[in-house]
Chain A
Amino acid sequence: MIRQRGSTFVVILVTCLIVIGCSGLATSSPVTIQYYTLAWQPGVVKAIQRISKEWNEANPDIQVEVIWGSWGAVNEFLLTSFLGGDAPDIFHTDAVMCYEYGALGFGAPLNDYLTDETLTDVPQWMWDSASDYEGNIFGYPFLVETHVIFTNRTLFQEAGIEVPDNSEISWDQFVDYSRRLTTRDESGEVSTWGVMAPVSWEKFPWMLVAQNDGNIVNRQEDGTWIVKVDTAAREALSYYCDLVTRWEVMPTEAMSNDYTYLMSAFSQERYAMIVFGCWNRRILALWDTVDWGMLHLTGPVNNITSGGPQAHGIWAGSPHKEEAALFLDYISSGQNVADIAYPDWIFPARTSGQADPKFSAEENQWDLAHGWLDYAIDIWPTMPTIIAFDMRVVVPELEQVILGNKSFDDAMDAIEKNGNEYLLQIGLQ
């Protein structure tokens, strides 16, 4: 009897040891990291699939699970995921949003995971747009573009417009071209508008402000922010509104315009010029409905363009930050990032990646878009919530001016008043 009890005890003990052993094995089982990507163009999706597959084969201990997101819902998805405590380990968004999420405590500082080689290979302005004022880097930039004016060359020819050899034009030339390109039918209705630059996306008004060295939000020494639309910014925003109200070369559609409509209208010669990121060459080349060209707008003070860098961030709550950083380095460098950038018709953030000759080819004007990268900066001021600020405060006021419901000066005063109230409410003052 005692022997039987003894053997039962041994069986239980062995079972317990096996269970404990198995659980021990479980802790050393592969780590799975979730990678939230906004890739959507077919070639980019393929590249991401290839890269993650190859990574998973080469790194059985760190498995990557790709979560496919969309630019249209990225903010809602990430914000709710962060607040719910169940966010992907790696997330892809604009560099300025990486900074914002970092400033809010959702993004982890990446400084410890970045090598000197990486830091020097990516231009400093891109790191700046993803960093706070204490030097914490919250985003690893991996893609960059240039903001250009797409032109309908047939309409330019018909209007007798000859563009400069370097394809760079001034603000005055831009208005002059737009006026010459705006045509009306016999009843006086506009049949072709000179230009379309939507007010609430593609951030054209902010690019104009940056080109005139203007400021709308200003950081104080104590780290708080105030809204003060300076003279240069007022000139820039006035220039934008004048396209609709004074020169009548841009329709009020600038207030509500989606991508599909914008592109179809450009194809149907409703707009002679549209302001957009250079990635849009892919769609224009694919559709092949317009003989298109590109121009770069040079501001009165400087000739910068909106680089709009895209970056990867790591969730502050991720238990696998180191593993995530290893994957980030893998996807953001060498052939991998080139394979992502090229089918996206934009450029790798790394200078070494841009050296690939295909990014400077004459075909589809890669060379022009690449050349203008020298002028690229992130035109958003590095203030947390800057995009929310734009949507909440700036855009509605510009819309009121465009509609003729408010004078420009009143709108600028309202931006300052409402903007400061908003910053106070969310704790930036």
Chain B
Amino acid sequence: MSEYGMRRVGEGRQAIPFLLPTILIMCAINLYPFINGMVRSLHSFRIMSQEFTYTGLRNFRLLLQDELFWRAFLNSMTWVATCISAQFVLSFVLALVLNSRELIARRVVRTLALIPWAMPPVVVALTWRYMLADRGPLNALLGVLGVANPPSWLLDPSVALWACILVTVWMNIPFMTVMLLAGLQSVERSLYEAAAIDGANFLQTTLRVTLPAIKKVALVVVTLMSIWTFNMFDIVFVLTNGGPGNASITLPLFAYQNAFFYYQMGYAAAVGIVMMACLLLLIVFYIRQVLE
């Protein structure tokens, strides 16, 4: 080994005692619950005897046969895909507008756009529950606009999940907008000037210049938002609690209900493991983006 290499190994060893407290804390906070969850997912909780009985992969087999799990899984996938796509498109448009030099009172508009982000999710959900009530302001507005039978947003099973998605998109747009705006502001103006000289129109400039220039920021923010949205619990919990008729149930809510209401802790842990497996793909992707 070269002298440089030897020195680096030596420095690494010297760092271990300094890193140890942090490593131990991380293990206690992250690793222990993770291992505990893994172990519990292989056990069934017998409520009367208060015993965790080892059942191997039985919880996972039951999951695969559980119609409600699949509904929650499908809902979660729909939820993440729709929320992220809608958020990205809308945030990108909003970021372009906010980045425009022609925008009057740019700072005021930027501040206003951030308001939904400043509100706690539970408050957002409670506010929207009022807005989306059958006789709430939204349906009243639709009535004024001539919609004869506005939907029962939170009561109609075919609409309930979409109502939750609508609220989540509204709540998350500001964060994505701020991130994309930061990306847009780092794009060199000379690129736009060059595109203008080449005769590119707005759409061509957006597709060929803007998007490639903010690709890295966009990928990171989309991955992060996907992880957060997948894990999001409060909006669905407050708005519909997974109903009506389990129409809007998502995986986090399904796990919560099993753990805290149905006394199926091993089963809930198995749901947690499945969720983690799904998230792992996103996390690996995110880490690769960051490391690049």
In the bound complex, what is the Cα–Cα distance between A270 and B246 (angstroms)?
26
- Interface range on chain A (Cβ under 8 Å from partner): 20 to 34
Q: Which of B17-25, B46-54, B175-183, B282-290 sits within the interface?
A: B46-54
Beta-carbon contact of A388 and B261 below 8 Å? yes
Q: Are A392 and B262 in contact (CB under 8 A)?
A: yes
Return B226 CB to nearest CB of chain A, in Å.
28
- Docked pose: A261 CA to B241 CA in angstroms: 16
Which candidate, B6-14, B72-80, B149-157, is the interface stretch facing chain A?
B149-157
| In the complex, per-residue mask of B139-163: 1 if CB is within 8 Å of any chain A CB, else 0 | 0000000001000101111000000
Q: Hey, what's the 0/1 contact readout for A383-426 against B, CB within 8 Å counting as 1?
A: 01100100110001001100101000000000000000010011
A76-125 contacts to B (CB < 8 Å): 76, 79-80, 103-105
Contact for B135 among A75, A79, A270, CB less than 8 A: A270
Given contacts A396-B245, A396-B246, A400-B245, contact A426 B45 (CB under 8 A): yes
Contact among B62, B244, B263 for A403, CB-based, below 8 A: B244
Which residues of chain A have a CB within 8 Å of any CB of chain B?
75-76, 79-80, 103-105, 187, 200, 252-253, 255-256, 258, 261, 265, 268, 270, 384-385, 388, 391-392, 396, 399-400, 403, 405, 422, 425-428
**Are A425's CB and B62's CB within 8 A?**
yes
Q: Other than A265-B135, A392-B262, give 15 A-B pairs with Cβ distance below 8 A.
A: A75-B261, A79-B260, A200-B243, A253-B134, A256-B155, A256-B240, A256-B244, A268-B135, A388-B263, A392-B261, A399-B244, A399-B246, A400-B245, A425-B62, A427-B45
Contacts of B96 in A (CB 8 A): none
Cα-based distance from A411 to B133 in the complex (angstroms): 28
Query: Within 8 Å of chain A (Cβ to Cβ): is B233?
Result: no
Give the nearest-CB partner of A103 in chain B.
B48
Q: Within the complex, what minimum Cβ distance (angstroms) separates A264 from chain B?
A: 9
Contacts of B157 in A (CB 8 A): 403, 405
- Residues in B with CB closer than 8 Å to A427 are 44-49
Residue B267, interface by CB 8 Å:
yes
Tell me if B172 counts as interface (CB < 8 A to partner A).
no
Cβ B50 vs Cβ A104 within 8 A: yes
Shortest distance between the CB of B170 and any CB in chain A (Å): 20
How many angstroms between the C-alpha atoms of A138 and B155 in the bound complex? 38
**B49:A256 contact, CB within 8 angstroms:** no
The 6 closest A-B pairs by CB, nearest first: A427-B46, A399-B245, A255-B244, A426-B47, A388-B262, A76-B260
How many angstroms between the C-alpha atoms of A428 and B44 in the bound complex? 13
What residues of chain B lie closer than 8 Å to A75, measured between beta carbons? 260-261
**Min CB distance, A425 to chain B, in Å?**
6
What is the distance, in angstroms, from B250's C-beta to the closest C-beta of chain A?
15
With the chains together, A403 CA to B156 CA distance in Å? 9
List B contacts of A405 (CB < 8 A).
157, 245
Instruction: Give the nearest-CB partner of B265 in chain A.
Output: A83
User: Quick check: B262 and A426 within 8 Å, CB to CB?
Assistant: yes
Instruction: Flag whether B168 is at the interface (Cβ < 8 A).
Output: no
Contacts of B257 in A (CB 8 A): 391-392
Interface SS of A by simple majority: helix
Q: How far is the CB of A261 from chain B (nearest CB, A)?
A: 6
Cβ-defined partner of B155 (8 Å) among A187, A255, A268, A388: A255
Chain A residues, CB < 8 A from B246 = 396, 399
Q: Contact between A422 and B262 (Cβ–Cβ < 8 Å)?
A: yes
Task: Mark out the residues of chain B between 33 and 52 whose CB falls within 8 Å of any chain A CB in the assembled complex.
Answer: 44-50
Q: Is the CB of A426 within 8 A of B155?
A: no
Closest to A401 in B: B245
> What would be 29 A-B contacts, judged by CB atoms less than 8 Å apart?
A75-B261, A103-B48, A104-B47, A105-B50, A187-B148, A200-B243, A252-B152, A253-B134, A253-B155, A255-B243, A256-B240, A256-B244, A261-B133, A268-B135, A270-B135, A385-B263, A388-B261, A391-B257, A391-B262, A392-B257, A396-B246, A400-B245, A405-B245, A425-B44, A425-B264, A426-B45, A426-B46, A427-B48, A428-B48
Distance in angstroms between the alpha carbons of A284 and B109 in the assembled complex: 44
**Given the complex of chains A and B, what is the CA–CA distance between A258 and B130 in angstroms?**
11
Once the chains bind, are B261 and A391 in contact (CB under 8 Å)?
A: yes
What 1/0 mask marks residues of chain B from 244 to 259 whose CB sits below 8 Å from any chain A CB?
1110000000000100
Contacts of B133 in A (CB 8 A): 261
Residue of B nearest to A389 (CB): B262
Also in contact, A399 and B243, with CB within 8 A (given A104-B47, A253-B134, A427-B48): yes
User: In the complex, what residue of chain B is closest to A223 when comparing beta carbons?
Assistant: B48
Complex Cα spacing A420 to B213, Å:
58
CB of B32, distance to nearest CB on chain A (Å)? 14
| Bound: A384/B45 CA distance, A | 14
Residues of chain B with a CB closer than 8 A to A258's CB: 129
Least CB distance from A306 to B in Å reads 21
Q: Min CB distance, B271 to chain A, in Å? A: 14
A384–B47 CB distance below 8 A: yes
B48 pairs with A104, CB closer than 8 A: yes
Q: Chain B contacts of A400 at CB under 8 A?
A: 245
Residues from chain B with Cβ under 8 Å of A399 in the complex: 243-246
Residues of chain B within 8 A (CB-CB) of A396 are: 245-246
Over the window 54-65 of chain B, the binary record of Cβ atoms lying under 8 Å from chain A Cβ atoms (1 yes, 0 no) is: 000000001000
Contact B261 A252 (CB under 8 A): no
Closest beta carbon of chain B to A285's beta carbon, Å:
24
Of A256, A388, A403, the residue contacting B154 (CB under 8 A) is A256
